Amino acid sequence: MSKEMEHYAENRPSDEEIATGAAPVERITVEPKGTSTTPDASSAPTSRHHHGPVEMVGADTTEQPPLQTTVAEVEGRKSRFGYLRRKQFWIVLILSQALALTITGTNTTTTLLSMEGTSIPAFQTLFNYILLNLIYTTLTIYKYGPKKYGMLLWKDGWRYLILAFCDVLGNYFTVLAYRYTTILSAQLINFWAIAVVVLISLIFLKVRYHIFQYAGILICCGGLGMLVASDHITGSNGGPALDAVKGDLFALVGATFYGLSNVFEEFLVSKRPLYEVIGQLAFWALPINGAICGIFDRNSIKHATWNHKVAGYLVGYTLLLSWFYSAVPIVLRMASAAFFNIGLLTGNFWGVIVGIKVFHYHVHWMYPIAFVLIMVGHFVYYGTEGVLGEAKKPWLGENQEGGNDGIGTARRQLEHPGVTL
């Protein structure tokens, strides 16, 4: 038997791996054209045709570097508070707060646009998707080539279409909710996004949270409750609701779509390159968002104020949101959709800090306490996690065989022990 065939025999996925989709295309050694193959090797593409994740055509035909260690070996070396003692925890903690600040920035620019007489929620987001396409779709086409990119659209486009649909509607219904309900009600309904993420992860991704993770989530939610309570005490809840029932329903729908998109994106980005996921999300979101803009923002665009200030706010909003979309997949790889959402709970606190300078807000004494409480929840959430934390995804196999080895993944840490990102 040749060395190539011996290598194939050693690395050929088992029937169980093929059935569960744990063996991705990039793990299979493909014989060069013109060489003979065994019946199993030649029939492998056909036998894998009906297994979703395995058939993602964007996969590289070259193998990823071999593992230098295993999950069992890494976790076997863990000490008490193993993940909290690693650089990865602090990186993902700081990055999650940077994203919370980014959301504060986009909310601030949206408020400034409204103060100028320009309220175009769908239209202003359109520029973000255009910029993401220019960067990431272009990069994907360069990496894969036109033919392979066309196959990606044909075979796997439906996955990214679902992701884009959830993302766009999450944005739209959340913004729409603020038109009808109070800020207080919309903030309270943010809890629902976390509940959706946990529920969907439990059912479809087979994630199993332990008691300290649930406790950490509850502590973070308690901190948000204090922020909401302080807004109510100070009367900073946005005044009376125009139609509270309608607004609350829109907020629930928006939070649900947000939760679905976060979980689905975590699943996809654990298997595929970042540039592919972000590029495809933007590619399919562009026509969906454009249709919503054409239907619901036409009158707003006609009556909007257009001046140099508005242009500056739109540029700032687009750059902030594009950075947000670029960084979120890294958090989803290093942590999870659940951790990402509890990280964003500090957005209200950062919003007030920014508002002190921009809108002359005042900090209520409960705000610092609430912020500390939310941060304590983050530490409790990861207090008993292993060395790899949530970068180790349960749906990728024992040693992350089905995962991508890009930045922030557990697979990358197994290939390059000691790597930070």
pLDDT at residue 37 in the model: 39
pLDDT at residue 177 in the model: 80
76 — pLDDT class (breaks 50, 70, 90): confident
Query: In this structure, which amino acid lies at residue 307?
Result: N
Q: How far apart are CA 334 and CA 247, in angstroms?
A: 34
pLDDT above 70 (res 412): yes
pLDDT in tens, 137-152: 999 999 999 999 999 9
Query: In this structure, which amino acid lies at residue 412?
Result: R
Single out the residue of 47, 16, 65, 49 nearest to residue 409, CA to CA: 65
Residue 235 is given by DSSP the state: T
pLDDT above 80 (res 107): yes
Q: How far apart are CA 136 and CA 304, in angstroms?
A: 31
Number of neighbouring beta carbons within 10 Å of residue 234: 14
Give the pLDDT mean for 251-264.
93
Domain ranges of the chain: 1-41, 79-415
Give the rounded distance of the alpha carbon of 85 from its chain centre: 24
360 — pLDDT class (breaks 50, 70, 90): confident
Single out the residue of 326, 280, 2, 328 nearest to residue 149, CA to CA: 280
pLDDT at residue 373 in the model: 94
Q: How far apart are CA 46 and CA 148, in angstroms?
A: 18
Tokens representing residue 34 in the block: 């013109």
Look-up of token digits 């950490």: 216
Tokens representing residue 380 in the block: 């409790």
pLDDT in tens, 259-297: 999 999 999 999 999 999 999 999 999 999 999 999 988
